[in-house]
Structure formats: structure tokens, C-alpha cells
């Protein structure tokens, strides 16, 4: 998913750079509301974890691979604004130290994986959390669906950027079909990893999971013994 | 307190194992974007990054010949840098309430 230098022309790269900078500026404000003494250390670790897991490309179909983007996972774990910042740090480290993703394409990559993947993943998650049973299973299903959607969403936004500012003159429909198709498959892997990691964290420290606030709210209010206690422990 | 530190240390251990060891077994096939670019004919418009000469470029440490060691060291270095940058940023941004437990439990419920 990391866009190299050269795929998109300079005006498009500048535009995504401005969009990315604006998103990060908003995230710097928004993350203050999500981070406190307990969750801040988890946020730093989550970024490092996403960096590590992004090194592990998994095979999808014939001769292709993909890796976790982590937008939905990070947003559910530590909050969407913090997820934008964590993803951006990962992308900067990858571009500057590891030559993974272009430097002029950094704004594009922050837009695709920071803004679009986090936004789409967390948006679908919140929508489904409102619709599904308020249980651990419902939460994991919502997170998995958000993770699944986030990858083809980012891929299709790339196709949109390519339509505007792609350097090569190739049929757009073919690009959309190839990008959409392969990233649906990668999205399955994204969902599997997201559900596995989130399930593991939920089983030991559900109180640290930003997106699980609706599961623990009854426990916080349970000054009346036993009223919602069994709901809270599920 | 100890359980929080336990999760953090366990998470760090998993992260280091993934970056240091599991990464060696990653698929080396082109990723989705590279594959799509090749299939549709715009792969050759990619340009080398200005950082392509970095001593850690392509997740290998320059001068370390053993692929397993080189990739593992690069991964651990990347984890360390990411942890310092993201951890430092989030620590600077966090609310200092003096009542972290109560505040954290109530905080996310408001948005």
C-alpha cells in the first residue's frame, strides 16, 4: 500500500501533503482528549507494534502479498485521533529510515493510511457497534468489519488520486479493478489480524480499549450492586 | 499498576519478536499496489526514494551480510525509533489529571 515517489504528479502530491498536514494538526488537538496517564503508554506501543506487523507481508493469491495497515485496529485500541498520529509516525519512520514509501509521497501515504483507513475503519466500527449486540463478540465483529473495509477504501482513494494525478497513461478501470480486487483479499487478512490482536487485549485489559467504552460503562456506574454487573463482565 | 505494566511488557516482547524474527518469514511477493501497478503498466513510473541510500533502506542494515540478522536488527531499530517518537508524542499530549483511573474511564464515553 505504500505509494512510492513518481506514481503521482507534483500538484497531487502537494495537495495530499496539505490534506495530510491538516489532518495531523486536527489529530494533535483531538488526541489530547483521548490520551491520559493510562492510555498514552499503550498508544506508543501500538505504533511500534503496527510498525513491526507491517514488516510481515502475508501472501494473498498468486504472487501477491499484503500487510496490516492497522488503521481500524489502532483507532479501536487508542482512539481515532491518536490512531492518525500513530500511523503518521510509522509512515514517517518507514519513509525516512527504511525507504518504504516515497518522501514526496508521504502526504499521499498519510492520507491513504492515516486519514482514509483510520476514518473508514473507525466509521464502520462505530456504525456497527451501534447496531450489533453490546457484547465482546459484537465489538470484535464491528472491528473486523471496519478493518476489512478500511483496506479497499484506501486502495480506491488511491485510484481516485491516480485518476487526478497519475503520471502514467493507463486505463483507469483496469487500475480500479486490480487495486480493488487485491485489496479486498488483503482486507480479509487485515480483519483477521485486527480481531486476533483486539481479542487478546480485550481478554486481559478491556478497560484500556478506547472502543470498548460502551462495554464497561455499566461497571463504572454500578454503584447499585449487581444491577448491570453481569453485562459489564461479558 | 502491575497488570498494566504486564500488558505493556508483553506487548513490547511480541512487537520485538515480530520485528526481529517473524519478519524474516514475510512474503517477498510484490504487495497489492506493486502488483496492480505491474498488471496495469505503471510500475515503471516509480522513482527511488531520496532515502534509498539510508543504512536501513529496505529493512536491512548496511554492512550486515546475514539476511536474517540484518533484517532482524533493522526491525528492532525501527521498533525502537517508532516507540520513542510515538511514545514521546503521546506522553506530551496526554492529559495530566492526577486522577487517571477515574478520568480515563469516564473520558472515552463522552465522545
* ipTM of this complex: 0.90
pLDDT for residue B107 is more than 70:
no
C-alpha B15/C-alpha A215 separation (Å) is 27
Helix (H) or strand (E) run with residue B81 in it:
helix B67-93
> What pLDDT score was predicted for residue A218?
54
User: Residue A66's beta-bridge partner residues?
Assistant: A58
Q: Which of A109-123, A152-166, A209-223 has the lowest mean pLDDT?
A: A209-223
- Residues of A whose CB is below 8 A from B11: 42, 45, 49
C-alpha A122/C-alpha A138 separation (Å) is 14
CB pairs under 8 A between A and B: 263
pLDDT for residue B12 is more than 90:
yes
pLDDT for residue B93 is more than 60:
yes
DSSP letter string over A103-134? STTHHHHIIIIIIIHHHHHHHHHHHHHHHS-S
What digits encode the pLDDT tens for the residues A136-154?
999 999 999 999 999 999 9
pLDDT for residue A225 is more than 50:
no
What digits encode the pLDDT tens for the residues B44-73?
999 999 999 999 999 999 999 999 999 999
Q: Who's near B89: CB < 8 A, 6+ residues apart?
A: A44, A85, A89
Place of cell 472502543: A211
> What pLDDT score was predicted for residue A62?
76
Q: Which of A119-128, B1-10, B38-47 has the lowest mean pLDDT?
A: B1-10
Please compute, for residue B62, the number of CA atoms within 13 A of its CA located in the half-sphere on the CB side: 8
Which of 81-140 (A) contact B at CB < 8 A?
82, 85-86, 89-90, 92-103
For residue A220, give the chain B residue with the closest CA: B105
> What pLDDT score was predicted for residue A229?
44
> Three-state DSSP class for B94?
coil
- Residues of A whose CB is below 8 A from B82: 47-48, 51, 89-90, 93
For residue A76, give the chain B residue with the closest CA: B108
Q: Which of A131-140, A217-226, B93-102 has the lowest mean pLDDT?
A: A217-226
Instruction: State the nearest Cα–Cα gap between A92 and chain B, in angstroms.
Output: 9
Instruction: State the nearest Cα–Cα gap between A80 and chain B, in angstroms.
Output: 11
Q: How confident is the model at residue A215 (pLDDT cuts 50, 70, 90)?
A: confident
> What pLDDT score was predicted for residue A214?
84
The answer to whether A184 contacts chain B (CB < 8 Å) is: no
Per the structure block, which three cell numbers stand in for B20? 526481529
> What pLDDT score was predicted for residue A223?
46
Q: How confident is the model at residue B98 (pLDDT cuts 50, 70, 90)?
A: low
User: Region A188-197: what's the mean pLDDT?
Assistant: 98
Phi, psi of A38 (to 5 degrees): -85, -40
User: Region A181-204: what's the mean pLDDT?
Assistant: 97
pLDDT for residue A231 is more than 60:
no
User: Region A205-209: what's the mean pLDDT?
Assistant: 93
- The radius of gyration of chain B from alpha carbons, rounded to an integer in Å, stands at 20
Please compute, for residue B104, the number of CA atoms within 13 A of its CA located in the half-sphere on the CB side: 23
> What pLDDT score was predicted for residue B96?
80
**Burial class of residue B69 in the structure, from the number of CB atoms within 10 Å of its CB (0-12 exposed, 13-18 middle, 19+ buried):** middle
User: Region B94-100: what's the mean pLDDT?
Assistant: 69
Identify the DSSP state of B45.
Answer: G
> What pLDDT score was predicted for residue B108?
46
Task: Identify which of A35, A55, A162 has the shortest CB distance to residue B94.
Answer: A35
Phi, psi of A63 (to 5 degrees): 70, 20
Amino acid at each position: 500500500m505504500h505509494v512510492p515517489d513518481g506514481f503521482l504528479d507534483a500538484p497531487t502530491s502537494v495537495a495530499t501533503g496539505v490534506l495530510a498536514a491538516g489532518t495531523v494538526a486536527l489529530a494533535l488537538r483531538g488526541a489530547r482528549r483521548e490520551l491520559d496517564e493510562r492510555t498514552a503508554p499503550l498508544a506508543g506501543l501500538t505504533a511500534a507494534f503496527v510498525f513491526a506487523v507491517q514488516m510481515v507481508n502475508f501472501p494473498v493469491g498468486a504472487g501477491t502479498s499484503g500487510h496490516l495497515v492497522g488503521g481500524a485496529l489502532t483507532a479501536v485500541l487508542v482512539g481515532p485521533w491518536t490512531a492518525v498520529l500513530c500511523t503518521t509516525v510509522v509512515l514517517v519512520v518507514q519513509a525516512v529510515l527504511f525507504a518504504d514509501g516515497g518522501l514526496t509521497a508521504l502526504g499521499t501515504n498519510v492520507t491513504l493510511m492515516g486519514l482514509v483507513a483510520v476514518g473508514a475503519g473507525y466509521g464502520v466500527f462505530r456504525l456497527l457497534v451501534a447496531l450489533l449486540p453490546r457484547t465482546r463478540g459484537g465489538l470484535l465483529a464491528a472491528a473486523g468489519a471496519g478493518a476489512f473495509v478500511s483496506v479497499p477504501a484506501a486502495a480506491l482513494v488511491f485510484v481516485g488520486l491516480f485518476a487526478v494525478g497519475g503520471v502514467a497513461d493507463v486505463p483507469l478501470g483496469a487500475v480500479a479493478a486490480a487495486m480493488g480486487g487485491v485489496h479486498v483479499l488483503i482486507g480479509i487478512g487485515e480483519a483477521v489480524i485486527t480481531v486476533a490482536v483486539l481479542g487478546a487485549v480485550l481478554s486481559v485489559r478491556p478497560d484500556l480499549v478506547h472502543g470498548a467504552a460502551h462495554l464497561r460503562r455499566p461497571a463504572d456506574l454500578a454503584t447499585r450492586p449487581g444491577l448491570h454487573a453481569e453485562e459489564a463482565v461479558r | 499498576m502491575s497488570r498494566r505494566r504486564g500488558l505493556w511488557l508483553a506487548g513490547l516482547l511480541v512487537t520485538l519478536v515480530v520485528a526481529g524474527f517473524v519478519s524474516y518469514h514475510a512474503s517477498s511477493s510484490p504487495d497489492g499496489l506493486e502488483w496492480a501497478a505491474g498488471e496495469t503498466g505503471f510500475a515503471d513510473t516509480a522513482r527511488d526514494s531520496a532515502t534509498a541510500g539510508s543504512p536501513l533502506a529496505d529493512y536491512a542494515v548496511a554492512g550486515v551480510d546475514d539476511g536474517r540478522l540484518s533484517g532482524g536488527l533493522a526491525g528492532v531499530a525501527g521498533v525502537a525509533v517508532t516507540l520513542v517518537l510515538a511514545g514521546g508524542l503521546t506522553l506530551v499530549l496526554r492529559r495530566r489529571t492526577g486522577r487517571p483511573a477515574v478520568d480515563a474511564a469516564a473520558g472515552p464515553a463522552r465522545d
